[in-house]
Structure 1
Amino acid sequence: MIHPTAIIEPGAQIGADCEIHAGAIIKRHVILGDRVTVHPYAVIGGDPQALAFDPAVESFVRIGAGTRIREHVTVNRSLHAGVATVVGENCFIMAAAHVAHDAVLGDNIVLANNVLLAGHVEVGTNAFLGGAAVFHQFTRIGEGVMVSGNSSITRDLAPYTLVAERDEVIGLNVVGLKRRGHPREAIRELKEAFHAVYFTPGNIREVAASALASGEYKTAEAHRFLQFFEGGKRSFARLKRNENLAGAEE
């Protein structure tokens, strides 16, 4: 379904059973998977917001199957020739959110209203980013992370964590882990790995590497959590320390 007032430029690729609503703009650099919905006045595939960008560069935006894009969302194409900004499958991008150039989003991600992702941000599968949260360029948001609304994120967020305010880790996203059916053993190991990383003095990368090398952790979830600290260009969000820590962790 394509509304008569939608603008789809020649060269755009539209999958089967997509819905393009009134006033939506799909630029020629866009590839939409099947069953993608684009609501009124969203702009998909616009040029990057970078002063040095050459509009002649052939770069792209890829939107995965089943993703819903609400009103006034903007998704910019990559800075680099032949490269795509990527939004995965079955994501829900709420009104007025912005996905900047070269961001890469996994599957089943929710961006609430007015979330702002800067360039090169990576967001893992099943993450939930609360309304009006903002993310610095090159930050990595791990799998299953939940970020509070109005947060300001300038550091990498380890998988399965709860994060609020300015780069403050407040615990594990245990409710999310249970809802997605992660086994009890995996949740137990994640709690132990979380405690080892955030409560052991020293360089956080080295602490995580030591925990991983110990052989104590067998589940894939614990391995993903610890391996996250091996990469990235930025520092890591740290644990919020206060009198309510025990309750927050639990």
Structure 2
Amino acid sequence: MIHQLAAVDKRAKIGKNVVVEPFTTIAADVEIGEGTWIGSNVTIMDGARIGKNCKIFPGTVISAIPQDLKFDGEDTQTIIGDNTTLRECVTVNKGTKALGYTKVGDNCLIMATSHVAHDCIIGNNVIIANGCGIAGHVEIGDFTVMGGLSAVQQFGKIGKHTMVSGGSLIRKDIPPYIKVAREPISYAGINSVGLRRRGFTNDKIFEIQKIYRYIFQMKMNVTQALVYIEKEMLPTAERDEILEFIKNSPGGIVKGYGTGKE
């Protein structure tokens, strides 16, 4: 299943039923799970750990050294989960000693020409549309959808079940379950369509909406809103996840739509 015009190091660990198309290069310290398809002109460098049933399209480069001047040749990895697709000319750099790896989860789709930098953690079921730039040390939660040509600055955090509009410049953290849009990036409501598709009940969606109404639309700053929510709303997994995310956002979260406040 490995084309004779592919350059695959004999020390690489290649699973069963892996297809490697011509003119692809695979280095020695690479592991590829069974059933994965690797298109032509792909470069997979040392430290890559690719899961089962992935699809890697032409021009993709996996586990190149970081574009970080502090990188000093340390032994790090790039981890790609099962059933993930990397479209044409995607680049995913390996980690630095700060974390030791860059990770893309299971069932992800990263569309053509997008870049995932060193030490990023991309969750499961994430969609990153064409031409996105994800800087170093960024964390993106499960089921997030990133619109095309969006850019996330380093150390940014994006919560689960989030929808980011195309062309967004993300300089603040984005809490879970919401949509963001406009310039500068702002709260644009909760991601109700996405939540319904993933089985959230109307009651649960209303609860999430109520939380964000206190945070973004009432006459309180974020700190006051968090205190009020903890006092007035019963603990739930979603409530606690939102509060924990915001409390652990040192750079602050996106502003509320129409309020002008951070």
Same fold per superposition (TM over 0.5):
yes
Alpha-carbon distance in structure 2 between the residues aligned to 1:206 and 1:25? 51
In structure 2, the partner of 1:236 is 253
Name 1:115's counterpart in structure 2: 132
> Deviation of residue 206 (structure 1)?
4.7
Q: Deviations over 1:142-194 (max 9, x none)?
A: 10110010111100001111111322111111111111111222111111101
TM-score normalised to structure 2 length: 0.87
Q: Which runs of 5 or more residues in structure 1 are unaligned?
A: 243-250
Letter in 2 for 1:46: A
Kept in 1: contact 2:215–2:221 (CA 8 A): no
TM-score after normalising by structure 1: 0.91
Percent identical residues: 34
What is the number of residues matched between the two proteins?
A: 240
1:196 aligns with 2:214: yes
CA distance in 2, matches of 1:87, 1:62: 6
Cross-structure match for 2:205: 187
* Cα drift, residue 209 of structure 1: 4.3
Among 12, 16, 22, which residue is 2:34 paired with? 16
SS in 1 for 2:195: helix
**2:177 corresponding residue in structure 1:** 160
Q: In the aligned structure 2, how far is the partner of 1:105 from the partner of 1:209?
A: 30
What runs of 5+ residues in structure 2 fail to find an aligned partner? 1-18
- Give the 3 Å change call, closer, same or farther, for CA 133–28 of structure 1 in structure 2: same
Root mean square deviation, CA, Å: 1.6
1:96 to 100, 107, 113: 113
Instruction: Give, as a single letter, the amino acid of the residue that structure 2 aligns with 1:12.
Output: V
Q: Which runs of 4+ in 1 moved over 3 A?
A: 200-203
Deviation at 1:203, TM superposition (A): 4.2
Q: What is the CA deviation profile of residues 7-53 of structure 1, one whole-angstrom value per residue up to 9, with x for unaligned ones?
A: 10001011111111000011111000111111001000011111232
Contact 1:24-1:38 at 8 Å conserved across structures = yes
Larger radius of gyration: 2
Offset of 1:80 from its aligned partner? 1.0
Higher relative contact order (CA 8 A, sep 6+): 1
| Inter-CA distance 197–42: structure 2 relative to 1 (3 Å threshold) | same
